Structures are given as structure tokens and as C-alpha cells.
Chains A and B, each alone.
Chain A
Amino acid sequence: MAADSLRTWRFRTTGVVLEVHDLPLACCAVETTSAFASRPDLFEEVTVPIANAIRVLLVSGTVTDRLLPAVMEAARGLGPDVKVVSFGSCANTGGPYWDSYSVTKGIDQFLPVARYVPGCAPPPEALVSALLDLVGQSS
């Protein structure tokens, strides 16, 4: 999965611009998509890279061992400074699939995670809070 094939959103808040690459793997996608759609004041979809933006890889949903290489490729494609946001219990720890033979037990075993968003699923507002927190602002 190439990073440029992910839907990408510009998240603009006071003085800071984030380039958020959405990597939704399961039902958490309903919540992240809702966040993008419900806050047009913050999110705008973009198709070209944003100059001087902080790049964010938003991993949400269940990461399986078979899919892990694609997630890693997406992260590599965004460069060494990419901030990973792990959204939801599955991406955080494996969640309800904590004992599964096929589920990766937390993306942080393979990628440094900048912000964890707990919940199964977290509400859309939790994504906004996490992104604001990432840039040192409160929601």
C-alpha cells in the first residue's frame, strides 16, 4: 500500500497544519470518516502534498499479521518524521482479538506511536482531540 494511495486530509488549527493520511482497516473507519466529515472547519481533503506540514499516519482498525507489511510500507513512504496515531483498541493492543492467531497485538510493536486513542470504537471527537493534543493544543 503506497502512502499516496491513502485518502489524505489537511488538518488546520491555529498556526499548525497536519497532513493526515488515513489508513482505516476495520469498523473504526466509520468514526474517523465521521470526524473528517463533521468538522469541515478543521479537515479538508487534499490530493497533493502540503508544504511544511507535519505528516500523520492514522492507523485505525484491526492490523493483521498479513496486512502489517502494507502498513509498514505506508509508514516508510511518509518519511522518518511521520507521526503515527493509533486509533482504537485493535490498533492499540489487538483489542478483542488479543488472543487471535492472525492479529498484530498493537501497531506500537513495529512503529513508534505518537498518540494512542482508546476505545472500541473511539468517538469522532476523540480523533480531533488527539490531533490537537499532538500539536500541543487542547480541544
Chain B
Amino acid sequence: MTRLSDVVLQSVSGELGPDAAVVVAAEDWLAALSSVKRAGAIFFDFLTGVDSGTEFIQLVAHVATPEGTERLTLVTQLTSSVVDSATGIYPGANWHERETAEMFGVVFAGHPRLDPLLLGVDFVGHPLRKDFALAARATRPWPGLASDAEAAPLRSGGRRRVPPAGVPATWEVPNAD
């Protein structure tokens, strides 16, 4: 039996990454999904984005044969914020692409209805991107410290306050003292 990863590697240029993930070029994204579906991976499990700090988002999709005997993860590094929608190949990708669009700002060209799935229509920004500022962290210190005594050494010594993760360095962070 031909492995799903072999099918992709024969049909598009790509490489076998760690954990049996096949990494394909962004322009081969739909061709790769199409070839593994033809090879029997008709079960669409999920599609999502990964922000590794690069300029554009990575896409990850996971598909399987219906018996679950073979599973394959496909990965691509986008080279723009727009990619063709996979809904023509896997209708089940519909909601996953809507979620990836709102959370990461990826535009899926040809998607039948790219409205927000989970966020309100008035929500501004893409909250799973690394550059999305978590406003609560900028306006108050982390409330998880056991006591003020535990927090005190962090504030003394005149060291420059480092903004918490999720807060841009250019934001003014109020001193908790």
C-alpha cells in the first residue's frame, strides 16, 4: 500500500518533516490535499494556523483514511495572507478556515462564506497571532502571585520593566507599585 506521504511527495514537491508531517510549498497546498484525498484520505480532521513569528502564517491540516489506518499532517508556510480555500476538496474545511481566518488573519480565496465563526462581527484583530496585544496584561500585573511579598523583588532594583508577553514593547506599562 502506498503511504499517503508518498502520494504527496510524488505529486508535488515537498519534504517529510518531523512527526510524519509533509511540508509543501504554498502554491502546492490544494494539489497536495487533492492528491491525498484521491489516495483514500477522505476523512478531514482539522485545519488551523500556526504563528511562528514569521511574516506569514503556517497552515496545518490533518487528514486520515476512514478506517484510521493512515493519518497525515500537511504543513505549508504561506508567502502571503491569501491562500485558496480547501472547501472545494474537503467541504469539512469550511468552519476550520473560518476560524483560521478570524484567529490568524488568513484570507481563504473562494471560501463560500468567510464570516467570523466564534468572534463577534465587531471584534478587531486576530487574537491568536503573536502580535495581538492582550490589553489586560498591559493594564494590570499578573494576578497569580501568592502575595505582595512575592511580587516585591520583581519590582525593586530599578530594572527596566519588561512588558509581559502579548504586550508590544512600545506600549507604556503602568508600574504596579
Contacts and interface: CB of A to CB of B under 8 A. Distances in A.
A102 B119 contact: yes
B136 A105 contact: yes
Interface string B97-138: 000000000000000000000111000010100001010110
B18 interface: no
Query: Interface extent on B, as a size class?
Result: 10 to 19
Contacts of A4: none
Nearest to A99: B136
Interface string B124-160: 0101000010101100100100000000000000000
Contacts of B120: 65-66
B137 A99 contact: yes
A92 to B, nearest CB: 12
SS of A interface (majority)? loop
B5 to A, nearest CB: 36
B166 interface: yes
Interface residues of A, number: 9
A102 B136 contact: no
Interface string B35-53: 0000000000000000000
A128 to B, nearest CB: 28
Contact of B118 (A66, A94, A99): A66
B12 to A, nearest CB: 36
Nearest to B125: A101
Nearest to A66: B120
A65 B127 CA distance: 14
Nearest to A101: B127
Contacts of B118: 66, 102
Nearest to A94: B136
A5 to B, nearest CB: 22
A48 B71 CA distance: 53
B119 A98 contact: no
A99 B166 contact: yes
Interface string A96-124: 00111110010000000000000000000
Interface of A: 65-66, 94, 98-102, 105
8 contacts: A65-B120, A66-B118, A66-B120, A98-B140, A98-B143, A100-B136, A101-B127, A102-B127
- Nearest 6 pairs of A and B residues by beta carbon: A101-B127, A99-B136, A99-B134, A99-B137, A98-B136, A98-B143
Interface of B: 118-120, 125, 127, 132, 134, 136-137, 140, 143, 166
